[in-house]
Structure 1
Amino acid sequence: MILAHISQELDLPMQVAAAIAHLRETDYNNFEIGRHEINERMFALVQDPTTQDWQQGFPEFHRKHIDVQYLLEGEELIGYLPAAPHYEIRQDFLEQRDIAFTSTQVNETQLFLTPGMYAVFFPGELHRPCRCASIPQKIKKVVIKIRVDLNI
């Protein structure tokens, strides 16, 4: 997991660095909600959800994609737990959509994002996005999905 501001210069894995460079060069504020292709390895999901109470929802993880979650508007908490050999899977959509939800909800680290911040989640890392920091609010964010291979 990586948590940073878009203006920070970090030594990042090649594919993650490419996604951050893309975010710096692309103004997603006026993009339509939905999926936008970037290249053969990456696509962006522009989203405008309403944040939910911390107690709602379940952590998710992916096996084939890295998530770069970049906040454009609002405030968001994201729960985080490192990858572990086994989590109890509540809903498994890994084959269809590369996402599974777990029953785990204890001792998650709370990441607080404000506009311009991003969090990177690697395959197997649990994350529970779109939690409210104070009261539920509409946020706007971009999630860049990076297909994993040996060159990251």
Structure 2
Amino acid sequence: MIIDTFQRGSRYALGALWSEFFPELMKLVEQGEALPDGRYPLAGGPEQGGVMVSVETYEPKDESQARYESHDLMADIQAVLSGDEFLDVFPLQGEEVESMRDNGRDLVFYAEKPEAACRVHLRPGLFALVLPGEAHMPCQRACSNKVKKLVVKIPADKLSAPHCR
């Protein structure tokens, strides 16, 4: 997982796809709360090997209502444009009990909620990059009753090993 500011995000050398879509992503992020809910293909969209951004406004959940999820093929950028929320992350050990798997959507939910290895307080200007092998529990209530959030789905096999320039 990488947690950083969008301002520093372009410094990461995560491969050609990252370098291609990140400037486009910044144009969306700069719109903040004014960005309409919906889906935004970047770098040609998934059909051309790019990424898909989903923007949604919602009421965050109490921790007891949230679920851990993971993805085998996709990495996520999780970021709030307005409001705030908690994002819990833990590394998968391979012994977790799955409650639901949908391979078509590259989505796994888990039956138990282990103690988080890391809790991120997502606020505007910050992002968390969650990779395959890391389960995450997003959308948890922090201080705000309403959150506008942006999630980027990135083919993980198109990312290079994380390091900062």
TM-score bucket of the superposed structures, by smaller chain: 0.7 to 0.9
- Alpha-carbon offset, residue 12 of structure 1: 3.9
Q: Distance in 2 between matches of 1:71 and 1:55?
A: 21
Please name the residue that 1:24 is paired with.
26
Is residue 103 from structure 1 mapped to residue 114 from structure 2 by the alignment? no
- Percent identity between matched residues is 25
Contact 1:78-1:127 at 8 Å conserved across structures: yes
Contact 1:77-1:110 at 8 Å conserved across structures: yes
Q: Distance in 2 between matches of 1:12 and 1:56?
A: 36
TM (normalized to structure 1)? 0.86
Aligned length: 150
Q: Distance in 1 between matches of 2:159 and 2:127?
A: 22
TM (normalized to structure 2)? 0.80
Contact 1:78-1:128 at 8 Å conserved across structures: yes
Greater share of helix: 2
Please name the residue that 2:163 is paired with.
none
Q: Any gaps of 5 or more consecutive residues in structure 2?
A: 161-165
Distance 1:16 1:102, change over 3 A: farther
Q: Distance in 1 between matches of 2:121 and 2:38?
A: 24
Q: Distance in 1 between matches of 2:113 and 2:5?
A: 26
The Cα offsets for residues 33-58 of structure 1, whole Å up to 9 and x where unpaired, read as 22221122201001112111112221
Please name the residue that 1:55 is paired with.
64
Please name the residue that 1:36 is paired with.
40
Structure 1 segments of 4+ aligned residues over 6 angstroms from their partners:
none
Distance 1:103 1:32, change over 3 A: same
Counterpart secondary structure, 1:8? helix
Q: Any gaps of 5 or more consecutive residues in structure 1?
A: none
What code does the residue aligned with 2:12 have?
D
